[in-house]
Structure 1
Amino acid sequence: MAAPIDTPRIPETSSWHGVEVTEDYRWLEDAAAAATVDWTAAQQRRTREYLDALPDRAALRARLAQLLSAHTTSYRELHGAGDTWFALKQEPNRQQPMLVTRSGLDDDAVERVVVDPQALDGSGQTTIDFFVPSPDGSRVVVSLSEHGSEDGTLFVYEVAAGAVVDEPIAHANPAAAVPSVAWRHDGAGFWYGRADAAGFHQQVWFHRLGSSADVRERLDGFADPAIVENLLSASGDGRFVLDRAQRGDGGEWELFARSQSDADAAWWRVAGIEDRCVEATFAGDSLYLLSHADSEYGSVLRLRMTAGATVADATTVVPAGSRALTELAATDRTLWVADIDGGPCGLRRFGLDGAELPPVEIPPISTVSELAASGGTAVWAVESFTRPAQWWACRDGDTPARTALGTTGAVELTGYQVTREFATSADGTRVPMTVLAAPDAPRDGSRPALLTGYGGYAISLTPTFRPEVLAWLEQGGSYVVANLRGGGEYGERWHRQGRLAHKQNCFDDFIACADHLVATGITGRQRLAIMGGSNGGLLMGAVLTQRPDLARAVVAAVPVMDMLRVETTANGRYNVTEFGSVADPELFAVLRGYSPYHNVRDGARYPAVLLTGGEFDPRVDAWHPKKMAARLQAATGSGEPVLLRMESGGHGVGQSVEQKVDLVADYYAFLLDRLAVEYRPPR
């Protein structure tokens, strides 16, 4: 391959708390500068030259295209309104899912398309960020964005006609891509979240259909108003609107409410940060709250909603148990509660008074997700590492039944074995991981393994069906998912033990999992590849700089790499609640201690590394992988390739099928090549 690019070094020094830190590649932060553009283009040419020349990439890409197109229709984000069900529907050979309505959940239900992004943009670069139907289901707010930017524009569609009926609202909820919309009970307008031009100080606005004079309803008393993120919802009886206001990404929550009966009604605080309420759902005259105030695993509180009601008036209806509670939904007569135990999930149901109802059977080592309710019906999806998602539904008083909306297709992983393993971290903590491999795979260290992890923001890596993983397993490999501290797999304490000053625990956990795979013969050191994205990309950067010998090859996708300057970016500031700020002397020392970019050592024998990024990424600025690539290329003494792969996209949200095929083909071709595994076509 071509020699590493000789990147110019322009030293720049910053000082924090009397500590001077000098770096050479800050100039790459100027994305529009000609020097940065030219450098990036040269890196991309070098990377493509390397990856396209790999002898197995074409065959791998063909196999991945087959796997990722093999499914029949699949549905996600199922929501009911009136007598109508709304869902995002993905069909084979389509680049993006479309919004559809259904008259029911059975095979004979009438279905119609409301919004088809591919009809709006044949390039496949326009995606639906989220949608929120009006209470009667006659209209729906749809957020659309392009090129993975997540900078959504809100459109109001008349469902019956599939046509836009109101002026669009641009830059609503930029870079959040969450459904922060709540309709008024009569469908005449809706509340929505909108930040200022710089992406901060998000406020709640009210939009009346047919009017361009939106009203800002400023909420006072946010814990940190600059980085607040508002998630809005409305009570089913039309009396109240709720704002769950989060202090940055992964931070604490406050809850506010207002009455819908008076246009000038004031918002009041329902729960403060100290109440630790992280989820909420309305049912009848009550608001149900998932609170961590009394237990790290969470309990469910019931608050009778009247004007001015606060969590101090709530009573406990579902006490904490031995599993962490994750989701709530409520029908007319039933409260549904999803939970998790180290990764695998479960589902329970209760009367609205908290009386426990017959259990819901969930297959072992499975995920319960997208729990939702409409009227007297609850719906949820169940999937595992070996079986794709199937939608289930249950009417009040009935037995849960599988719906007609499950994913089926030619790809199955049921011939592979799923086992749970535990590693011992540096401080003695037992860390779970799931291994997916052929049942007869020998434990002699000869087989390749791909280990992935995340460990942040209380996000749990639960069993997920990924058809592309079959292409890896067919090479005799194991696919391993580590459940690290920083995630939510064991509740809020597990999250806190991997954030802020305790972030090193996340890295130690991952290193322990990698060492366990080698020690038990699941793989060998020269057969181990590791991969992670976003916060998981930070994980990759930290472990490769702390333990260059840990794995043979690394993929760090859309990674955070410079922990000292990340908060200077628009979205970076939202992450200080998870990582901490350099303004704090103690946390500055922590951040400097593990910041991957600042801990690259000249002459160290680093493994092969593939860094990826999106030029329009709203969550992690593209300069993170660029600066890390430049630093690693200049420093490594191993002779192993350090590649930078950039694309005209975002953080991976809204990615088209073709983009995903190309990306995963590059991942697997790179990793198999560095592990010296010759591609074997499926038999």
Structure 2
Amino acid sequence: MKRTFNILFATIALIACNKSKTIPAAEQIIRIPYPVTERGNQKDIYFGTVVADPYRWLEDDQSAKTSKWIAAQNKITSTFIRQIPYRGAMKERMKSLWNYEKFSAPFKEGNYIYFLKNNGLQNQWVIYRTKGEGSKEEIFLDPNTFSKDGSTALTDFSFSRDGSLMAYQFTEGGSDWTKVAVLRTADKSIVGDTLVNVKFTTLAWKGNEGIFYGTYKRDIKGNKFSEKTDQHQLQFHKINTPQSQDKLILGGASFPRRFITSKVSGDGRYLMITSANSSSGNELLIKDLSQPTSKFSTVVGNLSGNHEILDIVDDKIYIRTDLNAPNGRLVAAEISKPSSAYWKQIIPQTNEVLQATTAGGKIFAHYLKDALSSIRQYDLNGKFEHKIKLPDIGSVPTVGVNAKAGDKYLYYYFTSYINPGTIYKYNISSGRSERYKKPSIQFDPTDYISRQIFYTSKDGTRVPMIITHKKGIKLDGSNPTLLHGYGGFNISVTPTFDVRNVILLEQGGILAVANLRGGGEYGTKWHLAGTKMQKQNTFDDFIAAAEYLVREKYTSAQRLAIAGESNGGLLIGACMTQRPDLFKVAFPGVGVLDMLRFNKFTAGEGWIFDFGSPEESVEMFKYLYHYSPYHALKQNTAYPATLITTADHDDRVIPAHSFKFAARLQQFQKGKNPVLIRIDTLAGHGGATSTELTIEQQADKWAFMFHNMGLSYHLLK
């Protein structure tokens, strides 16, 4: 018997309401069958336990049968979404909100000052340059010309030390596999051939001679998007030579590491290497590029901690490390004695998590206090000089703090959930900041409030959450609320403005973001508390956040939606299967949803540090099997209205995770809540998505959420 789901029918009377100030929710519902998904007989045995996997065939993302299934699912999803009466109005409002000039902090390379800008609705940001502040700007590189549909995107770029050359990395269709081209900055001409099969890499210059980059051997006969990437190779490409002549610098079978990245010291002399096999723990190596026959020197020779070389200045290596410092500290070592036995402490560990960068000949220590930014300036010997005064609670991306040695100023970017992102010019000598650029957007931060609260998780742990909403709303349990989380891979979720959330906020809704265990907000201990056989802590933290929002009458279970992407998609899948009664709507995005097979594809084995392996032990298998969202689904259970999102070119978390979860959820769902999956084509894990596609995606999500909560949509002037 075919399973069915609810699809709305917009009557002529409802369509007529578009002319009024409010578009009501749909009143009439018709029944439409889900696409039939074939069930196979695949069974696997783990430590004596038989596990059925009836949708294994959906892992073949190149088969005609899978393509047919994708088309059928997308058709039913599109039919549903596009009949929601206010979906079109939401899309137009989203376009209107998005249509403002956005820009990055400027940075100097050679004789030019460069910056990125998006005029409003451009699919990709454009690199501009000027001869100096106030002089005429020109387009240097426009990624919008790379493809007609915006599916080819710039992902990274690196200038040679004198600024005469720039290597840039770009993706086609959102894949993690990228290509690299080199430009001569004087006339913007292409130099040499385009490099292919590049992945998970930085671009580092050796003078003007060439670039270091990372690649993996590819099985061209295998499955294009799910093939494993397990032995990274750091290559050197000499400009104006064929890629086939590139030299292996490190990696491959002789030095098997899953991830290898490189950068060159500010003076151009040293190659600095970070190598790792998993999402946590790395080695550090250095090589003197001024000596052609020099060998690599080991700075850190084990994978038990996390370390980063900030720079090498006057033969002194500056290292951020968590060795004997779970919150991080800064140390220095002489080139002649680089090992940890000779490290000298520059900035000690504190109660706040430390990240750091060097800029303008100084050290800028970026501290996280309850996931909020605080920045202090030190000299290279660790002497405190200034604390940067920030305008509000929020965050400063460390990557935005950049200046070359000798520069008098640097620029930094400040943002929060209600601050659209303001650039400040900072005087390195005086420690004073002045506003440099503020965007002009249809959003007034003074109408909203964003505040941090703390709630108690299941085991008594104190967890922070930032709640953002319009001033003056009533806490009566009726407010539509989106709860977002991540909780993994030592990644800190910090306050960042996202124009997509404005629609929710201006409709009187609430945005809540919880800082869960598994992230990096409180250092190594916080991260480890949400890994392997403690991963349930992450889910408990998120469920407790939802219970807090309901208990304090911010919202109710019937007005609460949850969202997360990637590891956050796992979070949503786990929480909606464990507590289906607590949420009305769920958005698991590009999620890791089959915890028994995640390590079989792409870079999945590199995630074992966080997740553990189903083959590791019977205890680890049982733990993963218990919470794995795909396996935790139960027949005849009323799950939240669910819109799963993924993409056909996602070669990081392969779309089969979402395909299989959607098929089984459609099979088991009880009641009227719809289960839909949106599968974008020529798109990947999300980082390089075009503006047009992003607006389409978010309009669909808000329409789905509001409709399933029975909400009207108020048109704004």
What TM-score results when the alignment is normalised by the length of structure 2?
0.90
Whether contact under 8 Å (2:251, 2:260) holds in the other structure is no
2:678 alignment counterpart: 645
Among candidates 195, 200, 205, match of residue 216 of structure 2: 195
Q: Gaps (5+ residues) in structure 2?
A: 1-6, 8-31, 219-227
Distance 1:226 1:20 in 2: 33
Q: Which residue of 1 aligns with 2:55?
A: 25
- 8 Å CA contact 2:311–2:317 kept in 1: the answer is yes
2:712 is equivalent to residue 678 of structure 1: yes
Q: Tell me the distance in 1 between the aligned counterparts of 2:394 and 2:283.
A: 31
Structure 2 contact 569–589 (Cα < 8 Å) conserved: yes
TM superposition shift of 1:112: 2.9
SS of structure 2 residue aligned to 1:664: helix
TM-superposition CA deviations, 1:603-640 (whole Å, max 9, x none): 11111100011000021111111111110111111221
In structure 2, which of residues 97, 100, 109 is the aligned counterpart of residue 67 of structure 1? 97
1:529 maps onto 2:529 in alignment: no
Match of 2:4 in 1: none
Residue 631 of structure 1 aligns with which residue? 664
Q: Which amino acid aligns with 1:187?
A: N
Tell me, in whole angstroms, the C-alpha distance in 2 between the residues paired with 1:502 and 1:102: 52
Contact 1:533 1:558 in 2 (8 A): yes
- For the 8 Å contact 2:231–2:251, the answer to whether it is kept is no
Q: One-letter code of the match for 1:165?
A: V
Residue-pair matches, total: 669
Please give the alpha-carbon distance, in whole angstroms, between the structure 2 residues aligned to 1:304 and 1:65: 54
* Structure 1 residues 528 and 73: alpha-carbon distance in aligned structure 2, compared to 1, 3 A threshold: closer
Determine if the alignment matches structure 1 residue 669 to structure 2 residue 698: no
The structure 2 residue matched to 1:264, chosen from 277, 290, 293, is 293
| Mapped contact 1:74–1:406 kept (Cα < 8 A) | no
Other-structure match for 2:474: 442
Displacement of 1:255: 0.7
- Aligned pair partner of 1:225 in 249, 256, 272: 256
2:151 alignment partner in structure 1: 125
Q: Which residue of 2 aligns with 1:41?
A: 71
Change beyond 3 A, Cα 1:311–1:408: farther
- 1:6-58 deviation line (CA, Å, top 9, x unaligned): 32211211112222211211111112222222222111111111100101101
**Alignment check: 8 A CA contact 1:420 1:434 kept:** yes
AA of the residue aligned to 1:379: Y
Deviation at 1:457, TM superposition (A): 1.0
Q: CA deviation at 1:394?
A: 3.2
Counterpart for residue 15 of structure 2: none
After superposition, the C-alpha distances for 1:107-152 in whole angstroms (9 at most, x for unaligned) are x045332221112322211110100100011111100111111321
Name the SS for the 1:358 alignment partner.
strand
Q: CA deviation at 1:430?
A: 0.9
Instruction: Kindly indicate whether the alpha-carbon contact (under 8 Å) linking 2:284 and 2:308 is maintained by their aligned counterparts in 1.
Output: no
1:135 to 161, 165, 179: 161
Residue 365 (1) aligns with residue 365 (2): no
Residues 292, 404 of structure 1: alpha-carbon distance in 2 compared, 3 angstrom cutoff: same
Distance 1:242 1:526 in 2: 53
RMSD (Å) for aligned C-alpha atoms: 1.9
| Offset, 1:375 | 2.0
CA contact (8 A) 1:534 1:620 kept: yes
The aligned amino acid for 1:550 is L
Check whether the contact 1:140–1:158 (CA below 8 A) recurs between aligned residues: yes
Give the aligned residue type for 1:190.
I
Change (3 A) 1:221 1:47: closer
Out of 338, 341, 363, which is 1:335 matched to? Answer: 363
CA distance in 1 between partners of 2:658 and 2:95 (Å): 27
Alignment equivalent of 2:384, drawn from 356, 364, 376: 356
1:99 and 2:130 aligned? no
Q: How far apart, CA to CA, are the structure 2 residues paired with 1:196 and 1:220?
A: 9
**Which residue of the partner structure matches residue 654 of structure 1?**
688
Q: Provide the C-alpha distance between the structure 2 equivalents of 1:407 and 1:259, rounded to a whole number of angstroms.
A: 44
Contact 2:425 2:436 in 1 (8 A): no
530-539 vs 365-374, which deviates more? 365-374
Closer/same/farther in 2, CA of residues 328 and 276 from structure 1, 3 Å limit: farther
Q: What letter matches 2:153 in structure 1?
A: T
Equivalence for 2:505: 473
The 3 A distance-change label for structure 1 pair 231 and 23 is same
Alignment gaps of 5+ in structure 1: none
* Stretch deviating more after TM superposition (347-356 or 566-575): 566-575
The one-letter code of the counterpart of 1:600 is L
Correspondence for 1:593:
626
| SS in structure 1 of the partner of residue 576 of structure 2 | helix
Look up the equivalent residue of 1:653 and give its one-letter code. Answer: G
| 8 Å CA contact retained: 1:393, 1:403 | yes
Q: Secondary structure at the match of 1:258?
A: strand
> Secondary structure at 1:650's aligned position in 2?
coil
**Residue type at the aligned position of 2:249:** E
Letter in 1 for 2:313: G
Deviation at 1:594, TM superposition (A): 0.9
Superposition pairs for residues 136-535 of structure 1, below 5 Å?
Answer: 136-173=162-199, 176=200, 178=201, 180-184=202-206, 186-197=207-218, 198-212=228-242, 213-219=245-251, 225-227=256-258, 229-248=259-278, 250-273=279-302, 276-285=305-314, 286-306=316-336, 309-332=338-361, 334-369=362-397, 370=399, 371-377=401-407, 378-402=410-434, 404-535=436-567
1:279–1:328: 8 Å Cα contact kept in structure 2?
no
Pick one of 651, 654, 659 that aligns with 1:618.
651
CA contact (8 A) 1:274 1:293 kept: no
Corresponding letter in the other structure for 2:481: A
Counterpart amino acid of 1:10?
G
Q: Which residue of 1 aligns with 2:41?
A: 11
- Deviation string for 1:564-613 (max 9, x for gaps)? 01111112222222212122013222211210000000011111100011
Task: Report the residue type matching 1:606 in the other structure.
Answer: Y
Question: 1:424, 1:396 → 2: CA distance?
Answer: 41
Question: Using the alignment, how far apart are the partners of 1:567 and 1:335 within structure 2?
Answer: 39
| Partner secondary structure for residue 368 of structure 1 | coil
Q: Deviations over 1:469-513 (max 9, x none)?
A: 111112211111111111111112111111122111110000000
Q: What SS class does the counterpart of residue 571 from structure 2 fall into?
A: helix
CA distance in 2, matches of 1:574, 1:527: 37
Letter in 1 for 2:154: I
**3-state SS of 1:639 partner:** coil
Q: For the structure 1 residues 360 and 283, does the alpha-carbon distance in structure 2 shift closer, same or farther, using more than 3 Å as the test?
A: farther
User: Percent identity over the alignment?
Assistant: 31
